Amino acid sequence: MGLFSNKKIEGVTARVLSLFSESAKDAHPAEFAAGMREIDGIISELILIPGTVSGPGSAILRLQTLPVDFSIVGVIHSHPSPNFNPSREDIITFGKYGRVHIIMAYPYDLDSWRAYDSTGKKLDLTLIE
């Protein structure tokens, strides 16, 4: 975690969540995952992670394939159920890479997501229209 900026992440754009929502719907019932890039404290871009494997119970991320890029602040992934609480495996992944993580649960809309820190503690991010 020492490689990442300590800049506070204030929010996430509706555009990022909408793009992710469409990808999660396409992958359903498998999980879908991507990296997230911040610009000026706002999560503004999705980063596809080469080698990611999506399945019905998990998405396997090849985090080592991400470039060394300090603006990539964490990962976003889907849960094919209405439960957006992180699993034990999610928290392990959170601790391996980044400092902000988002889970978007079924039905993959702008009301079915939550943000977490690297330990699994809920974060309050503003939705930027």
pLDDT value at residue 97: 80
23 vs 108: CA distance, rounded Å: 9
Residue 52 lies in a domain: yes
Residue 68 lies in a domain: yes
Cβ contact 103:90 at 8 Å:
yes
Residue 4 lies in a domain: no
Domain count for the chain: 1
Q: Output phi, psi for 76, to 5 deg.
A: -125, 140
Residue 89 lies in a domain: yes
pLDDT tens string 91-105: 988 888 889 999 999
Residue 109 lies in a domain: yes
Q: Active-site residue numbers? A: 31
Residue 65 lies in a domain: yes
Residue 1 lies in a domain: no
pLDDT value at residue 30: 87
Helix (H, G, I), strand (E, B) or coil at 118: coil
What residues have CB less than 8 Å from 18, skipping those under 6 apart? 110
Query: What CATH number should be reported for the domain holding residue 70?
Result: 3.40.140.10
Percent of the chain with pLDDT over 90: 58
Average pLDDT over residues 76-81: 93
Average pLDDT over residues 108-122: 96
pLDDT tens string 34-71: 889 999 999 999 987 765 656 566 666 656 656 666 68
54 vs 74: CA distance, rounded Å: 18
Residue 83's domain comprises 11-128
Residue 6 lies in a domain: no
pLDDT value at residue 57: 62
